[in-house]
Amino acid sequence: MVRAERLSLLQTTFPPIHWAVMCLLGGSIVLCFLLETDDKLLQFLDLSQLRIIFSFLVGALTGIFSICVDLNDPFRGSFRITQSAAQLYTLRDLIRAEAVEATAQINAEAQLTQARAPRGQPVP
């Protein structure tokens, strides 16, 4: 039951309201930029500086959108669940190997302690 819920959550995408809010926020940022760079109020920036600022703005919005699209599908893209799971398998194998090594060392010490104990006396 829990596994099925986890898998269904992994396969769901962002809700449409998320995309609507992201579009509205991006549009409002562009609108604010256009209002702030009105020629009547503009005193300190020339045309080339405005173009550079606008290109940074468009680049930032495009980058945020591409990250959201990439996070929308957890099994494809740059941010994948499968890569994280592979790291966990490696970690699990390392822990198992160390546990086997520690068990073998404990067993060897126990056998050595039993061999050193005098006959008929219990081993502490």
Neighbour-count burial of 11, counting CB atoms closer than 10 A to its CB (0-12 exposed, 13-18 middle, 19+ buried): exposed
| Residue 13 backbone class (left: φ over 0; alpha: ψ -120 to 50; beta: rest) | beta
Q: What is the pTM of this model?
A: 0.46
The CA–CA distances, whole Å, from 32 to 28, 35, 58, 66, 103 equal 6, 5, 13, 22, 66
Instruction: Tell me how far apart the alpha carbons of residues 29 and 5 are, in angstroms, rounded to a whole number.
Output: 37
Residues of the chain with pLDDT > 70, as a percent, come to 79
Helix (H) or strand (E) holding 11: helix 2-11
- Sketch the domain layout of the chain as residue ranges: 1-79, 80-115
Tens digit of each residue's pLDDT (9 = 90 or more) over 32-68: 877 777 766 566 667 787 788 888 888 888 888 888 8
